[in-house]
Structure 1
Protein backbone atom coordinates (compact mmCIF):
# COMPACT_ATOMS: atom_id res chain seq x y z
CA UNK A 1 0.00 0.00 0.00
CA UNK A 2 2.81 2.36 0.87
CA UNK A 3 4.58 1.58 -2.39
CA UNK A 4 1.40 2.25 -4.40
CA UNK A 5 0.76 5.59 -2.67
CA UNK A 6 4.30 6.72 -3.24
CA UNK A 7 4.25 5.83 -6.92
CA UNK A 8 0.93 7.63 -7.42
CA UNK A 9 2.32 10.72 -5.72
CA UNK A 10 5.43 10.67 -7.86
CA UNK A 11 3.37 10.24 -11.03
CA UNK A 12 1.00 13.05 -10.14
CA UNK A 13 3.83 15.52 -9.58
CA UNK A 14 5.83 14.53 -12.67
CA UNK A 15 5.78 17.58 -15.00
CA UNK A 16 6.08 15.35 -18.06
CA UNK A 17 3.16 13.12 -17.12
CA UNK A 18 0.53 12.73 -19.87
CA UNK A 19 1.72 15.82 -21.75
CA UNK A 20 0.23 15.62 -25.22
CA UNK A 21 -0.66 18.39 -27.70
CA UNK A 22 -4.34 17.98 -26.87
CA UNK A 23 -3.68 18.31 -23.13
CA UNK A 24 -1.53 21.39 -23.66
CA UNK A 25 -4.20 22.96 -25.86
CA UNK A 26 -7.02 22.16 -23.44
CA UNK A 27 -5.19 23.47 -20.39
CA UNK A 28 -4.00 26.57 -22.25
CA UNK A 29 -7.57 27.35 -23.28
CA UNK A 30 -8.62 27.03 -19.66
CA UNK A 31 -5.92 29.55 -18.72
CA UNK A 32 -7.23 31.85 -21.46
CA UNK A 33 -10.74 31.60 -20.02
CA UNK A 34 -9.55 32.13 -16.44
CA UNK A 35 -7.53 35.20 -17.41
CA UNK A 36 -10.47 36.52 -19.44
CA UNK A 37 -12.69 36.20 -16.36
CA UNK A 38 -10.06 37.88 -14.19
CA UNK A 39 -9.64 40.89 -16.49
CA UNK A 40 -13.37 41.18 -17.10
CA UNK A 41 -13.80 41.17 -13.33
CA UNK A 42 -10.96 43.64 -12.73
CA UNK A 43 -12.28 46.07 -15.34
CA UNK A 44 -15.79 45.75 -13.95
CA UNK A 45 -14.60 46.36 -10.39
CA UNK A 46 -12.61 49.42 -11.45
CA UNK A 47 -15.53 50.71 -13.50
CA UNK A 48 -17.89 50.68 -10.50
CA UNK A 49 -15.53 51.45 -7.61
CA UNK A 50 -13.32 54.07 -9.28
CA UNK A 51 -15.38 55.16 -12.27
CA UNK A 52 -18.54 57.28 -12.12
CA UNK A 53 -21.08 55.36 -10.04
CA UNK A 54 -22.99 55.58 -6.75
CA UNK A 55 -20.19 53.52 -5.16
CA UNK A 56 -17.37 55.85 -6.14
CA UNK A 57 -19.45 58.89 -5.20
CA UNK A 58 -19.90 57.48 -1.70
CA UNK A 59 -16.14 56.83 -1.35
CA UNK A 60 -14.28 59.99 -2.35
CA UNK A 61 -10.91 58.79 -1.04
CA UNK A 62 -8.84 57.17 -3.80
CA UNK A 63 -6.88 55.15 -1.23
CA UNK A 64 -10.10 53.65 0.15
CA UNK A 65 -11.26 52.90 -3.38
CA UNK A 66 -8.01 51.07 -4.06
CA UNK A 67 -8.45 49.08 -0.85
CA UNK A 68 -11.91 47.98 -1.99
CA UNK A 69 -10.56 47.13 -5.43
CA UNK A 70 -7.75 45.13 -3.83
CA UNK A 71 -10.11 43.13 -1.63
CA UNK A 72 -12.52 42.44 -4.49
CA UNK A 73 -9.77 41.39 -6.93
CA UNK A 74 -8.11 39.22 -4.27
CA UNK A 75 -11.38 37.38 -3.61
CA UNK A 76 -11.99 37.00 -7.34
CA UNK A 77 -8.50 35.60 -7.94
CA UNK A 78 -8.80 33.16 -5.05
CA UNK A 79 -12.13 31.95 -6.43
CA UNK A 80 -10.69 31.41 -9.91
CA UNK A 81 -7.75 29.41 -8.53
CA UNK A 82 -9.99 27.00 -6.62
CA UNK A 83 -12.63 26.81 -9.35
CA UNK A 84 -12.95 23.59 -11.39
CA UNK A 85 -11.16 25.30 -14.27
CA UNK A 86 -8.32 26.44 -12.05
CA UNK A 87 -7.91 23.01 -10.49
CA UNK A 88 -7.40 21.50 -13.94
CA UNK A 89 -5.03 24.04 -15.49
CA UNK A 90 -3.23 24.94 -12.27
CA UNK A 91 -4.86 28.35 -11.96
CA UNK A 92 -1.74 30.33 -12.83
CA UNK A 93 -3.52 33.24 -14.59
CA UNK A 94 -0.13 34.99 -14.59
CA UNK A 95 2.81 34.47 -16.95
CA UNK A 96 5.25 35.02 -14.09
CA UNK A 97 3.64 32.19 -12.12
CA UNK A 98 3.82 29.88 -15.13
CA UNK A 99 7.52 30.72 -15.50
CA UNK A 100 7.95 30.13 -11.77
CA UNK A 101 6.42 26.66 -11.88
CA UNK A 102 8.67 25.69 -14.78
CA UNK A 103 11.75 26.88 -12.89
CA UNK A 104 10.54 24.93 -9.84
CA UNK A 105 10.59 21.85 -12.13
CA UNK A 106 6.97 20.93 -11.55
CA UNK A 107 5.63 22.31 -14.85
CA UNK A 108 6.64 21.12 -18.33
CA UNK A 109 8.68 23.54 -20.38
CA UNK A 110 6.72 22.67 -23.51
CA UNK A 111 3.61 24.22 -21.93
CA UNK A 112 5.18 27.52 -20.86
CA UNK A 113 4.79 29.46 -24.11
CA UNK A 114 1.23 28.20 -24.84
CA UNK A 115 0.16 29.14 -21.30
CA UNK A 116 1.68 32.61 -21.52
CA UNK A 117 0.18 33.30 -24.94
CA UNK A 118 -3.20 32.11 -23.69
CA UNK A 119 -2.99 34.33 -20.60
CA UNK A 120 -2.11 37.40 -22.66
CA UNK A 121 -4.91 36.66 -25.13
CA UNK A 122 -7.35 36.17 -22.27
CA UNK A 123 -6.31 39.52 -20.82
CA UNK A 124 -7.11 41.31 -24.06
CA UNK A 125 -10.41 39.48 -24.54
CA UNK A 126 -11.46 40.15 -20.96
CA UNK A 127 -11.03 43.91 -21.32
CA UNK A 128 -12.82 43.92 -24.68
CA UNK A 129 -15.69 41.96 -23.13
CA UNK A 130 -15.96 44.46 -20.27
CA UNK A 131 -16.00 47.34 -22.73
CA UNK A 132 -18.76 45.63 -24.70
CA UNK A 133 -20.84 45.14 -21.55
CA UNK A 134 -20.27 48.48 -19.81
CA UNK A 135 -19.89 50.77 -22.81
CA UNK A 136 -17.69 53.83 -23.43
CA UNK A 137 -17.41 54.65 -19.72
CA UNK A 138 -14.71 52.00 -19.41
CA UNK A 139 -12.58 53.75 -22.03
CA UNK A 140 -12.60 57.16 -20.36
CA UNK A 141 -10.70 58.34 -17.27
CA UNK A 142 -10.59 57.43 -14.47
CA UNK A 143 -11.38 53.87 -15.62
CA UNK A 144 -9.26 53.87 -18.81
CA UNK A 145 -9.93 50.17 -19.36
CA UNK A 146 -8.35 49.43 -15.95
CA UNK A 147 -4.88 50.30 -17.26
CA UNK A 148 -2.17 51.00 -14.69
CA UNK A 149 0.39 53.76 -14.33
CA UNK A 150 2.83 54.74 -11.59
CA UNK A 151 2.67 57.89 -9.52
CA UNK A 152 4.02 61.09 -11.06
CA UNK A 153 7.79 61.27 -10.82
CA UNK A 154 8.30 57.52 -11.02
CA UNK A 155 10.44 56.47 -13.97
CA UNK A 156 10.46 53.09 -15.65
CA UNK A 157 13.75 52.25 -13.96
CA UNK A 158 12.27 53.03 -10.54
CA UNK A 159 9.11 50.99 -11.15
CA UNK A 160 11.03 47.97 -12.47
CA UNK A 161 12.80 46.94 -9.22
CA UNK A 162 9.70 47.62 -7.13
CA UNK A 163 7.51 45.42 -9.30
CA UNK A 164 10.22 42.74 -9.55
CA UNK A 165 10.69 42.68 -5.78
CA UNK A 166 6.93 42.40 -5.22
CA UNK A 167 6.74 39.41 -7.55
CA UNK A 168 9.79 37.86 -5.91
CA UNK A 169 8.10 37.95 -2.50
CA UNK A 170 5.02 36.23 -3.92
CA UNK A 171 7.13 33.56 -5.64
CA UNK A 172 9.11 32.79 -2.49
CA UNK A 173 5.88 32.35 -0.53
CA UNK A 174 4.40 30.19 -3.29
CA UNK A 175 7.49 27.98 -3.22
CA UNK A 176 7.34 27.66 0.56
CA UNK A 177 3.62 26.90 0.81
CA UNK A 178 3.61 24.42 -2.08
CA UNK A 179 6.52 22.48 -0.60
CA UNK A 180 4.74 21.87 2.71
CA UNK A 181 1.61 19.67 2.36
CA UNK A 182 -0.20 21.13 5.35
CA UNK A 183 0.29 24.68 4.00
CA UNK A 184 -0.52 23.98 0.35
CA UNK A 185 -4.34 24.24 0.74
CA UNK A 186 -3.87 27.79 2.02
CA UNK A 187 -2.15 28.91 -1.17
CA UNK A 188 -5.23 30.36 -2.96
CA UNK A 189 -6.06 32.55 0.02
CA UNK A 190 -2.42 33.64 0.35
CA UNK A 191 -2.27 34.58 -3.34
CA UNK A 192 -5.51 36.54 -3.07
CA UNK A 193 -4.29 38.33 0.05
CA UNK A 194 -0.93 39.23 -1.46
CA UNK A 195 -2.43 40.52 -4.69
CA UNK A 196 -5.02 42.51 -2.76
CA UNK A 197 -2.30 44.05 -0.60
CA UNK A 198 -0.23 44.79 -3.68
CA UNK A 199 -3.11 46.71 -5.24
CA UNK A 200 -3.92 48.62 -2.07
CA UNK A 201 -0.34 49.46 -1.06
CA UNK A 202 1.50 49.69 -4.37
CA UNK A 203 -1.34 50.97 -6.54
CA UNK A 204 -0.78 54.66 -5.66
CA UNK A 205 3.00 54.26 -6.14
CA UNK A 206 4.01 51.79 -8.85
CA UNK A 207 0.57 50.80 -10.13
CA UNK A 208 0.61 47.44 -8.32
CA UNK A 209 0.63 45.21 -11.40
CA UNK A 210 2.54 42.05 -10.25
CA UNK A 211 1.12 40.22 -13.27
CA UNK A 212 2.08 40.83 -16.91
CA UNK A 213 -1.38 39.72 -18.03
CA UNK A 214 -2.99 42.24 -15.67
CA UNK A 215 -1.65 45.15 -17.74
CA UNK A 216 -1.35 43.63 -21.20
CA UNK A 217 -5.01 43.82 -22.26
CA UNK A 218 -5.79 47.15 -20.56
CA UNK A 219 -2.69 48.80 -22.07
CA UNK A 220 -3.47 47.62 -25.60
CA UNK A 221 -7.13 48.57 -25.46
CA UNK A 222 -6.57 51.97 -23.82
CA UNK A 223 -3.40 52.80 -25.78
CA UNK A 224 -1.46 53.53 -22.57
CA UNK A 225 1.72 51.76 -23.62
CA UNK A 226 4.34 53.90 -21.90
CA UNK A 227 5.14 51.56 -19.01
CA UNK A 228 3.92 48.34 -20.61
CA UNK A 229 7.41 46.86 -21.03
CA UNK A 230 8.08 47.35 -17.32
CA UNK A 231 4.84 45.67 -16.27
CA UNK A 232 5.55 42.80 -18.65
CA UNK A 233 9.19 42.15 -17.80
CA UNK A 234 9.62 43.15 -14.16
CA UNK A 235 7.41 40.37 -12.71
CA UNK A 236 9.19 37.83 -14.92
CA UNK A 237 12.58 39.02 -13.71
CA UNK A 238 11.42 38.89 -10.09
CA UNK A 239 10.12 35.37 -10.62
CA UNK A 240 13.43 34.16 -12.07
CA UNK A 241 15.45 35.66 -9.24
CA UNK A 242 13.14 34.26 -6.56
CA UNK A 243 13.07 30.75 -8.02
CA UNK A 244 16.87 30.72 -8.19
CA UNK A 245 17.04 31.80 -4.55
CA UNK A 246 14.42 29.26 -3.47
CA UNK A 247 16.17 26.38 -5.23
CA UNK A 248 19.42 27.31 -3.53
CA UNK A 249 18.02 27.67 -0.02
CA UNK A 250 14.97 25.40 0.19
CA UNK A 251 15.26 22.03 1.88
CA UNK A 252 12.16 20.55 0.28
CA UNK A 253 11.12 20.67 -3.39
CA UNK A 254 7.90 22.25 -4.62
CA UNK A 255 5.34 19.46 -4.93
CA UNK A 256 2.85 20.74 -7.51
CA UNK A 257 2.28 23.44 -10.10
CA UNK A 258 -1.36 23.74 -9.07
CA UNK A 259 -2.01 26.79 -6.91
CA UNK A 260 -4.98 25.04 -5.32
CA UNK A 261 -2.40 22.77 -3.67
CA UNK A 262 -3.23 19.33 -5.04
CA UNK A 263 -1.65 16.68 -7.24
CA UNK A 264 -2.64 16.43 -10.89
CA UNK A 265 -5.30 13.86 -10.04
CA UNK A 266 -6.84 16.16 -7.43
CA UNK A 267 -5.52 14.22 -4.46
CA UNK A 268 -4.11 16.24 -1.53
CA UNK A 269 -0.36 16.63 -1.14
CA UNK A 270 1.32 14.21 1.24
Structure 2
Protein backbone atom coordinates (compact mmCIF):
# COMPACT_ATOMS: atom_id res chain seq x y z
CA UNK A 1 0.00 0.00 0.00
CA UNK A 2 1.29 3.45 -0.86
CA UNK A 3 1.93 5.99 1.85
CA UNK A 4 -0.77 8.20 0.35
CA UNK A 5 -3.29 5.42 1.00
CA UNK A 6 -1.84 4.48 4.40
CA UNK A 7 -2.15 7.96 5.90
CA UNK A 8 -5.97 8.29 5.92
CA UNK A 9 -6.38 4.66 7.02
CA UNK A 10 -3.98 5.17 9.91
CA UNK A 11 -5.74 8.39 10.90
CA UNK A 12 -9.13 6.66 11.06
CA UNK A 13 -7.76 3.83 13.19
CA UNK A 14 -5.24 5.51 15.45
CA UNK A 15 -6.28 9.13 15.90
CA UNK A 16 -6.52 8.68 19.71
CA UNK A 17 -2.81 7.83 19.76
CA UNK A 18 -1.99 11.00 17.84
CA UNK A 19 -4.08 13.16 20.17
CA UNK A 20 -2.22 11.61 23.08
CA UNK A 21 1.12 12.61 21.58
CA UNK A 22 -0.07 16.17 20.96
CA UNK A 23 -1.49 16.50 24.46
CA UNK A 24 1.53 14.90 26.10
CA UNK A 25 4.06 17.25 24.52
CA UNK A 26 1.77 20.21 25.20
CA UNK A 27 1.61 19.31 28.89
CA UNK A 28 5.39 18.93 29.02
CA UNK A 29 6.04 22.31 27.35
CA UNK A 30 3.46 24.14 29.47
CA UNK A 31 4.87 22.66 32.68
CA UNK A 32 8.42 23.53 31.61
CA UNK A 33 7.32 27.11 30.90
CA UNK A 34 5.46 27.50 34.19
CA UNK A 35 8.29 25.98 36.22
CA UNK A 36 10.80 28.26 34.50
CA UNK A 37 8.69 31.34 35.18
CA UNK A 38 8.21 30.37 38.82
CA UNK A 39 11.91 29.69 39.39
CA UNK A 40 13.60 32.27 37.15
CA UNK A 41 11.36 35.30 36.63
CA UNK A 42 12.47 38.06 39.03
CA UNK A 43 8.85 38.95 39.87
CA UNK A 44 8.05 35.40 40.96
CA UNK A 45 7.51 35.00 44.69
CA UNK A 46 9.29 31.63 44.58
CA UNK A 47 12.28 33.13 42.80
CA UNK A 48 12.45 35.98 45.30
CA UNK A 49 12.22 33.58 48.24
CA UNK A 50 15.00 31.38 46.89
CA UNK A 51 17.15 34.34 45.88
CA UNK A 52 16.69 35.77 49.35
CA UNK A 53 18.14 32.58 50.77
CA UNK A 54 21.15 32.85 48.51
CA UNK A 55 20.02 30.10 46.13
CA UNK A 56 21.72 30.60 42.78
CA UNK A 57 20.79 29.44 39.30
CA UNK A 58 22.63 26.14 39.70
CA UNK A 59 20.60 25.19 42.77
CA UNK A 60 17.34 26.36 41.21
CA UNK A 61 17.91 23.78 38.48
CA UNK A 62 17.42 21.07 41.10
CA UNK A 63 13.67 21.66 41.66
CA UNK A 64 13.29 22.34 37.94
CA UNK A 65 14.90 19.01 37.06
CA UNK A 66 12.91 17.10 39.66
CA UNK A 67 9.71 18.76 38.51
CA UNK A 68 10.28 17.98 34.84
CA UNK A 69 11.26 14.40 35.68
CA UNK A 70 8.00 13.96 37.58
CA UNK A 71 6.06 15.43 34.65
CA UNK A 72 7.67 12.94 32.26
CA UNK A 73 6.94 10.06 34.64
CA UNK A 74 3.34 11.19 35.05
CA UNK A 75 2.77 11.41 31.31
CA UNK A 76 4.51 8.09 30.62
CA UNK A 77 2.55 6.10 33.18
CA UNK A 78 -0.80 7.77 32.59
CA UNK A 79 -3.40 5.78 30.62
CA UNK A 80 -2.90 8.16 27.69
CA UNK A 81 0.87 7.80 27.78
CA UNK A 82 0.57 4.04 27.94
CA UNK A 83 -1.67 4.14 24.89
CA UNK A 84 0.73 5.95 22.56
CA UNK A 85 4.09 5.02 24.07
CA UNK A 86 4.64 8.65 25.15
CA UNK A 87 7.27 9.52 22.55
CA UNK A 88 6.61 13.28 22.78
CA UNK A 89 9.59 13.71 20.47
CA UNK A 90 9.92 13.24 16.69
CA UNK A 91 13.53 12.09 17.12
CA UNK A 92 12.38 9.26 19.39
CA UNK A 93 9.59 8.37 16.97
CA UNK A 94 12.21 8.20 14.21
CA UNK A 95 14.26 5.75 16.29
CA UNK A 96 11.27 3.48 16.92
CA UNK A 97 10.32 3.62 13.25
CA UNK A 98 13.85 2.52 12.36
CA UNK A 99 13.37 -0.48 14.68
CA UNK A 100 10.11 -1.39 12.96
CA UNK A 101 7.99 -0.70 16.04
CA UNK A 102 5.79 1.84 14.33
CA UNK A 103 4.65 2.16 10.72
CA UNK A 104 5.71 5.02 8.48
CA UNK A 105 2.17 6.40 8.39
CA UNK A 106 1.86 6.36 12.17
CA UNK A 107 5.33 7.89 12.48
CA UNK A 108 4.32 10.78 10.23
CA UNK A 109 1.08 11.35 12.13
CA UNK A 110 2.99 11.19 15.41
CA UNK A 111 5.35 13.88 14.14
CA UNK A 112 2.50 16.12 13.00
CA UNK A 113 0.68 15.64 16.30
CA UNK A 114 3.84 16.44 18.24
CA UNK A 115 4.26 19.58 16.14
CA UNK A 116 0.72 20.63 16.94
CA UNK A 117 1.24 20.06 20.65
CA UNK A 118 4.63 21.77 20.72
CA UNK A 119 3.76 24.86 18.72
CA UNK A 120 0.28 25.10 20.22
CA UNK A 121 1.52 25.04 23.80
CA UNK A 122 4.23 27.64 23.14
CA UNK A 123 1.61 29.86 21.46
CA UNK A 124 -0.69 29.42 24.47
CA UNK A 125 2.01 30.42 26.93
CA UNK A 126 3.03 33.36 24.76
CA UNK A 127 -0.57 34.54 24.49
CA UNK A 128 -1.57 34.17 28.12
CA UNK A 129 1.70 34.91 29.91
CA UNK A 130 3.61 37.06 27.45
CA UNK A 131 4.94 39.46 30.10
CA UNK A 132 6.52 36.59 32.01
CA UNK A 133 7.25 34.11 29.23
CA UNK A 134 9.08 36.73 27.14
CA UNK A 135 11.29 37.96 29.97
CA UNK A 136 15.01 37.43 29.22
CA UNK A 137 15.33 35.08 32.19
CA UNK A 138 12.75 32.75 30.60
CA UNK A 139 12.99 33.79 26.91
CA UNK A 140 10.09 31.63 25.70
CA UNK A 141 11.81 28.47 26.93
CA UNK A 142 14.45 28.62 24.19
CA UNK A 143 17.37 26.24 24.26
CA UNK A 144 20.65 27.91 23.33
CA UNK A 145 24.29 26.81 23.46
CA UNK A 146 26.15 27.64 26.65
CA UNK A 147 29.14 29.96 26.92
CA UNK A 148 31.50 27.27 25.62
CA UNK A 149 29.90 27.39 22.17
CA UNK A 150 27.82 25.45 19.69
CA UNK A 151 30.24 22.58 19.09
CA UNK A 152 30.31 21.60 22.75
CA UNK A 153 26.54 22.01 22.90
CA UNK A 154 26.20 19.71 19.89
CA UNK A 155 28.40 17.08 21.55
CA UNK A 156 26.47 17.35 24.80
CA UNK A 157 23.09 17.02 23.08
CA UNK A 158 24.37 14.07 21.07
CA UNK A 159 25.64 12.23 24.15
CA UNK A 160 22.58 12.78 26.33
CA UNK A 161 20.25 11.77 23.47
CA UNK A 162 22.27 8.65 22.73
CA UNK A 163 22.39 7.57 26.38
CA UNK A 164 18.68 8.23 26.91
CA UNK A 165 17.56 6.06 24.00
CA UNK A 166 20.01 3.25 24.74
CA UNK A 167 18.79 3.12 28.34
CA UNK A 168 15.16 3.16 27.24
CA UNK A 169 15.65 0.42 24.65
CA UNK A 170 17.57 -1.84 27.00
CA UNK A 171 14.96 -1.35 29.72
CA UNK A 172 11.95 -1.73 27.43
CA UNK A 173 13.29 -5.04 26.14
CA UNK A 174 14.29 -6.35 29.55
CA UNK A 175 12.06 -8.79 31.38
CA UNK A 176 13.11 -7.20 34.67
CA UNK A 177 13.22 -3.54 33.76
CA UNK A 178 10.52 -2.85 31.16
CA UNK A 179 8.01 -1.71 33.79
CA UNK A 180 10.40 0.93 35.13
CA UNK A 181 11.65 2.16 31.74
CA UNK A 182 9.57 5.32 32.03
CA UNK A 183 10.99 6.01 35.47
CA UNK A 184 14.53 5.57 34.20
CA UNK A 185 13.86 8.00 31.36
CA UNK A 186 12.32 10.51 33.76
CA UNK A 187 15.31 10.23 36.09
CA UNK A 188 17.70 10.88 33.21
CA UNK A 189 15.72 13.96 32.18
CA UNK A 190 15.95 15.28 35.75
CA UNK A 191 19.70 14.64 35.86
CA UNK A 192 20.18 16.27 32.48
CA UNK A 193 18.30 19.42 33.52
CA UNK A 194 20.39 19.72 36.67
CA UNK A 195 23.83 18.89 35.28
CA UNK A 196 23.83 19.24 31.49
CA UNK A 197 21.62 22.26 30.77
CA UNK A 198 24.45 24.81 31.25
CA UNK A 199 26.13 23.28 28.20
CA UNK A 200 23.25 23.19 25.73
CA UNK A 201 20.02 24.17 27.47
CA UNK A 202 19.05 20.46 27.55
CA UNK A 203 16.71 20.02 24.64
CA UNK A 204 16.65 16.34 23.50
CA UNK A 205 13.77 17.41 21.27
CA UNK A 206 14.22 19.27 17.96
CA UNK A 207 10.58 20.22 17.77
CA UNK A 208 10.41 21.72 21.24
CA UNK A 209 13.49 23.83 20.48
CA UNK A 210 12.09 24.92 17.11
CA UNK A 211 8.74 25.96 18.60
CA UNK A 212 10.40 28.09 21.29
CA UNK A 213 12.86 29.60 18.81
CA UNK A 214 10.00 30.58 16.51
CA UNK A 215 8.11 32.22 19.38
CA UNK A 216 11.19 34.16 20.45
CA UNK A 217 12.37 34.80 16.87
CA UNK A 218 15.75 33.75 18.15
CA UNK A 219 17.37 30.95 16.14
CA UNK A 220 20.76 31.06 17.86
CA UNK A 221 22.37 27.63 17.59
CA UNK A 222 19.12 26.03 16.45
CA UNK A 223 21.02 23.70 14.12
CA UNK A 224 22.42 21.97 17.21
CA UNK A 225 18.96 20.84 18.31
CA UNK A 226 17.68 20.04 14.83
CA UNK A 227 20.64 17.72 14.14
CA UNK A 228 22.09 16.27 17.34
CA UNK A 229 19.07 14.55 18.97
CA UNK A 230 17.75 12.88 15.76
CA UNK A 231 21.24 11.72 14.75
CA UNK A 232 22.02 10.37 18.22
CA UNK A 233 18.68 8.62 18.65
CA UNK A 234 18.98 7.09 15.19
CA UNK A 235 22.44 5.82 16.09
CA UNK A 236 21.17 4.43 19.39
CA UNK A 237 18.49 2.45 17.55
CA UNK A 238 21.04 1.16 15.03
CA UNK A 239 23.43 0.09 17.80
CA UNK A 240 20.66 -1.62 19.70
CA UNK A 241 19.47 -3.48 16.61
CA UNK A 242 23.03 -4.61 15.87
CA UNK A 243 23.96 -5.78 19.37
CA UNK A 244 20.61 -7.07 20.58
CA UNK A 245 21.12 -10.62 19.22
CA UNK A 246 24.53 -10.76 20.87
CA UNK A 247 23.10 -9.66 24.23
CA UNK A 248 20.32 -12.22 24.02
CA UNK A 249 22.70 -15.01 23.00
CA UNK A 250 25.01 -14.20 25.87
CA UNK A 251 22.16 -14.48 28.34
CA UNK A 252 22.94 -11.06 29.69
CA UNK A 253 21.49 -10.24 33.07
CA UNK A 254 19.34 -7.58 31.44
CA UNK A 255 17.60 -10.38 29.54
CA UNK A 256 16.92 -8.42 26.37
CA UNK A 257 13.98 -10.57 25.42
CA UNK A 258 10.77 -8.88 26.47
CA UNK A 259 8.94 -6.89 23.81
CA UNK A 260 7.53 -3.60 25.09
CA UNK A 261 3.91 -2.75 24.47
CA UNK A 262 3.81 -0.54 21.41
CA UNK A 263 1.70 2.22 20.17
CA UNK A 264 -0.88 1.48 17.53
CA UNK A 265 -1.07 -2.28 18.12
CA UNK A 266 -1.57 -3.17 14.49
CA UNK A 267 1.80 -1.64 13.59
CA UNK A 268 3.93 -3.30 16.26
CA UNK A 269 6.77 -5.26 14.82
Instruction: Mark yes or no: TM-score above 0.5.
Output: yes
Scaled to the shorter chain, the TM-score interval is 0.7 to 0.9
1:144 and 2:134 correspond: no
**Aligned with residue 59 of structure 1, among 50, 62, 65:** 50
Contact 2:145 2:153 in 1 (8 A): yes
Say which SS state the counterpart of residue 182 (structure 1) adopts.
Answer: coil
2:23 corresponding residue in structure 1: 33
For the pair 1:161 / 2:155, whether they are aligned, the reply is yes
- Indicate how the Cα distance of structure 1 residues 224 and 197 shifts in structure 2: closer, same or farther if over 3 A, else same: same
Q: How does 1:1-270 map to 2 (within 5 A)?
A: 20-52=10-42, 53-60=44-51, 61-155=56-150, 157-250=151-244, 251=248, 252=256, 255-256=259-260, 258=262, 264=265
Q: CA RMSD in A?
A: 2.1
Distance 1:257-1:98 versus aligned 2 partners, 3 A rule: farther
Contact 1:164–1:235, Cα closer than 8 Å, also in 2: yes
Q: TM-score, normalised by structure 1?
A: 0.83
- Structure 2: where are the runs of 5+ without partners? 1-5, 249-255
- For the Cα contact (< 8 Å) 2:159–2:232, is it kept in 1? yes
**Distance in structure 1 (CA, Å) of the matches to 2:216 and 2:189:** 23
How many residue pairs align between the two structures? 244
**Structure 1 residue 213 displacement after superposition:** 2.9
The alpha-carbon distance between structure 1 residues 257 and 112, as it changes in their structure 2 partners (threshold 3 A), is farther
| Alignment partners' CA distance in 1, 2:181 and 2:89 | 15
Alignment CA distance shift 1:159-1:257 (3 Å) = farther
- Separation in structure 2 between the aligned mates of residue 264 and residue 183 of structure 1, nearest angstrom: 21
The 1-side partners of 2:225 and 2:261 are apart by: 23
Distance in 2, Cα, partners of 1:32 & 1:237? 23
Secondary structure of the corresponding residue to residue 204 of structure 1: helix
> How much does 1:256 deviate?
2.7
TM-score, normalised to structure 2's length?
0.84
Provide the C-alpha distance between the structure 2 equivalents of 1:66 and 1:217, rounded to a whole number of angstroms: 22
Greater share of residues in helix:
2
1:11 is matched with none
Deviating above 3 A after TM superposition, structure 1's stretches of 4 or more consecutive aligned residues are: none
Where structure 1 has 5 or more consecutive residues not aligned to the other structure, the ranges are 1-15, 266-270
Query: Cα distance, 1:189 vs. partner?
Result: 0.9
Q: Find the aligned partners of 2:261 and 2:200 in 1 and give their Cα distance.
A: 28
